[in-house]
Amino acid sequence: MGRTNRKRRSTLANRAIAASAALALGGGGLLAANIYASAGEGKNSTQNAQTTAASVATIKCPDVGQQLRNVPQRARAGVDKELAALDQQITEAYARLASTRQAQAGDAGFVQNSILGPLNSKRTATIERISINIKRGGGTAPSGVGNLSKCTGWSAGQPNTNAGQGNNGQNNGGQGQGNNGQGGNAGQGGQASQPPAGGGASQPPAGGGQTGNGGQGGNGPVAADFQDIRTVQPSNKRGVGANGLAANGRSGSRGTFTTSCGTNGNDNHNTDNVIVAPGVTNGAHHLHDYVGNQNNDAFASDEDLAASETTCQNQGDKSSYFWPVLRLQDGSQDFDQNNDGGGKEGNVGKILQASQAQLKFVGNKKGNVVAMPTALRIITGDAKAFVNGLANANTNWSCTGFENRQLTDKYPICPRGSSVVRTTNFQSCWDGQNIDSANHRSHVAFVQADGTCANGFKAIPQLQVRLVYKVAAPTIQNGTVKNAFAVDSFPENLHKPITDHNDFINFFDANTMNKMVNCINTGKQCK
């Protein structure tokens, strides 16, 4: 599925605010918004929400999907479409927020009356339809879900820094825990901006705002989103290899299985997410790279995926591996500059192809692993972590030659000759029954600190993804970043590094999966 095929389907055509297309290409509204691009909702969130309209940087809405734990199977399709509608509503509201700065400056009630009020009304109706779908499917709507309609505007507040605090998640024996809500890692001598507890957003130090960066149309990233990797304190954790991927301990299942599926050289991209928004075009509102399975769009059934071609050298691996693209913000554009999910929603700039994409499965330091079921879906990280908070965040940014130094809430500035690295360690405990769950998370989990799986979950091979990009280091001058890079994101998340995420759908055939499990459990290194 090459570059010409990416345009084959119409998107949610013209549903995004038309003005946002022009703004994303350098219009004044989004550029003005960038002054507030690292808004914070500190401890006094109510006070922040009521500040002057002109200081509102983005929109925070409760993530309804994460509150759904028990949705009947026959209600899933309807619920997923309504959840996608909620995302579309926020996207449209953010575009209106960004395009009406002049009106906001002249009317303190504009944001509430013209943007948030209508958005909350739409959300109330959509959430009610979610409850109806669940009830019609034979389930019970979760209590309190009706209270999730209210969105607030985030304003620029005082910086909430967390200099020097590391990633407190577990990364023992290859079982990376992500952030577990513990904030970022500024490293030694750095100044990290940490979202406050409860999902606040980070604010750059004074003077860190900017009025444009030549690429993202004014909605991020900003200078405060970057840090020189050389200022980060090296990790003293045992088992972290020179390539950034953790070893899986000296006990338990010590083997590995590596699959080689290329770096998306055939430009297989779309803005769908078949896990979160099946049947919905542009459900991700940002562009994904795909390697492995070549039939992965919003409309692919499990049968379609199982019958698809794969870019993996081992043809027994038809799994789908996908992640948001990384773009260079140098003022250039790419094929999707006028498309939904691309330039229309603030995702602009040159798409960078990874120079390396390493896909490795490791074991469990306490014991053997079991086979993953066919069509198992795993999402790790949170594309909405900037507004959702860090509970599901799982990001690791670094540079080649410095991979014992990891950043979680900053993009790295790498020295000459060094490349940018994105590393992701997936959940490796499975409930033993389900290939997915209503919130797409509850059926899998990270290991506990001692390497065991809680709640009767079973240990499965842990996927580790390492992506390397040859990209020139950004420069920061007078609080402005030039030639930045950033991952694609939902528009309201302002292209923050903490929003990086990764997705996997297992379609290894039985023989290859059995080989993987045997290799891992017997301590072999297999491909």
In a domain, 527, yes or no: no
Residues 147, 232, single domain; the answer is: no
Q: What is the pLDDT at residue 331?
A: 85
**Which pLDDT belongs to residue 204?**
30
Residue 185's pLDDT is 39
What pLDDT, on a 0 to 100 scale, did the predictor assign at position 2?
Answer: 41
Residue 326 lies in a domain: yes
Sequence-separated (6 or more) residues with CB below 8 Å from residue 382: 388, 391, 392, 393, 394, 499, 501
Residue 86 within a domain: yes
| One domain, residues 145 and 289 | no
**In this structure, are 246 and 360 located in the same domain?**
yes
276 with 384, same domain?
yes
Distances (CA, A) of 98 to 59, 118, 492: 10, 16, 10
> Does 296 lie in the same domain as 444?
yes
Residue 264 included in any domain? yes
Based on the domain organization, do 112 and 240 belong to the same domain?
Answer: no
Does 432 map to a domain?
A: yes
pLDDT value, residue 325: 98
pLDDT beneath 70: ranges in the chain = 1-54, 155-218, 237-250
> Whole domain around residue 331: which residue ranges?
223-522
C-alpha pair distances (Å), 197 with each of 42, 387, 391, 393, 501: 9, 11, 10, 13, 21
* 507, 427: one domain: yes
How far is residue 307's CA from residue 305's CA, in Å, rounded to a whole number?
A: 5
- 48 is a domain residue: no
Residue 217 pLDDT: 53
Q: How many domains does the chain have?
A: 2
Residue 436 falls inside a structural domain: yes
What's the pLDDT at 487? 97
At 143 the pLDDT is 78
Backbone angles phi, psi at 381, to 5 degrees: 85, 175
Query: What is the predicted pLDDT for the residue at 59?
Result: 95
Amino acid letter for position 425 = N
pLDDT on residue 54:
52
Give the per-residue pLDDT at 246.
53
Is the distance from CB of 429 to CB of 446 less than 8 angstroms? yes
**Domain end position, chosen among 101, 131, 154:** 154
Kindly state whether residues 371 and 453 are assigned to the same domain. Answer: yes
Residues 419 and 270 in one domain: yes
Residue type, position 415, single letter: P
Instruction: Single out the residue in 129, 154, 179 at which a domain terminates.
Output: 154
In 3D, which of 386, 378, 439, 440 has the Cα closest to residue 408? 386
Q: Tell me: the pLDDT tens digits for 361-396? A: 999 999 999 999 999 999 999 999 999 999 999 999
Q: Final residue of a domain: which of 100, 125, 154?
A: 154
Whether 234 and 146 map to the same domain: the answer is: no
Cα–Cα distance for residue pair 275/298, rounded to 1 Å:
8
Q: Are residues 403 and 481 in the same domain?
A: yes
User: Do 148 and 245 belong to one domain?
Assistant: no
Residue 484 maps to a domain: yes
